[in-house]
Structure 1
Amino acid sequence: MKTVKQGDSGEEIAILNNALTQAGYSVKEGMTFTPALRETVVAFQQQRGLEPDGIVGYHTWEALLLGGESEATELADEDFSRGALLLDCETAALRAVQEVESGSRHGFVAPGKPTILFEGHIFWAQLKKRGIDPVQYAAQNGDILYPQWEKGHYRGGLKEYDRLEKARAIDREAADASASWGMFQVMGFNFAACGEKSVASFVAAMQQSARSQLKLFVRFIHQGGMLFALQRKEWATFARLYNGPRYAENRYDVKLAKAYAKYAR
């Protein structure tokens, strides 16, 4: 969603009015950002701990569209629609990413345990980044620690947590940074791009709810330099930025295009 302020007009104002109404505020319908509407926006911002400047930018839009408490472990259709509004992309494009990354709008394998996939080659790099020599641990931890990517050690589902806990025994922060989390499979080392201050706060947010996972993903797309590719459905570019330079080995771009075509129907 584009930033709007007093004096602006257009479809975004109608969406703003609707979102404020759903948040419990009384507003008049219309397509113009009036002084009265600004006052309501300021009141909403104050309530949510946002800068009360009366300007509806990304953080205010996020609070309006994806805010509120939710303990649901599955996304509703409206959640996808609101996430797409926030990113100004097609809902079908958002659904395509979710399907290819996890195959389910249910981002948990057990209560409080988000879907994860532990990456041993990332763990190798994350240990080195923290001044820890991975070689000294490699011999006894071949299933969680290796210098090059390989998929033979993946165990899937809850069993990925066995691998994660084994890695946490070596270094918890590096281990959590080396797993992809939630229904959109965002890597832990991307915590800052998801608006989190630490890997630990990122993991805690992933554990909250499906909507929290969606919120982190939307932030990552917004801040991670790949939004344009998602908006334009340039799947090869998006897959390279989201999944890495070896995306073609798993045919991520082909899978994304196929999933998008299904949802676009």
Structure 2
Amino acid sequence: MRRSRPWLYWILKVVVAPFLTSVFRPWTRGFENVPESGPVIFASNHLSFVDSVFLPVVLDRHVTFLAKSDYFTKPGPFGWLQKELFFGLGQVPIDRSGGKASEASLNSGLGVLAEGRQLGIYPEGTRSPDGRLYRGRTGVARIVLESGARVIPVAMVDTQKIQPLGTRIPKVRRVGVVFGEPLDFSRFSGLEGDRFVLRSITDEIMYEISRLSGQEYVDVYASSVRARPGAQSVGATP
């Protein structure tokens, strides 16, 4: 796993974060639930590309995200720049194709937590196509059980309004980040091979995210909805 470049994170916190804070005025609730040290899993809803910007902005410690591998494989100069930026900030590509590729991606996340760091993950696997909350994938539950790290459910609020579908220039909208109370799954210790346990843990995490965000929950995968002909991405309307 490629390591982050400290100077990129320094630029984010010292230069970019104050600018974003002054322009978008992100608000937080439940920040007292965020541990000051040790490994932490932030399990968040996913409304917009900028979710991975504003969550790090409001946190004191660096957070590494499991980001879909598509962000690292786009062609051309812009694709190369995006890949280097993601790697430089310590983001980890996750392959959702299954089998050994997905296993390697999850192991990368476990490596982050084993070093006592913070890991951000979007259990839905992709951005919501319409602002609702979709079924979570059980990879998050495996990471929870195998790492033993604390789990903080997170709700990103109104981030989809910054750049609605079809717009090139971001809109200035106030956004929020809500941190829930830590979730305890120690009762399932040693059962990471039980698919019913993994589904139960994932559903509990999604319930907490829904409760925090106020989103309607849909018990299908977001990727299935996004793949339908004519499907529109979240933020299609102001």
TM-score normalised by L of structure 2: 0.26
Structure with greater helix percent? 1
Higher relative contact order (CA 8 A, sep 6+): 2
TM-score normalised by L of structure 1: 0.24
Q: Which protein has the larger Cα radius of gyration, Structure 1 or Structure 2?
A: 1
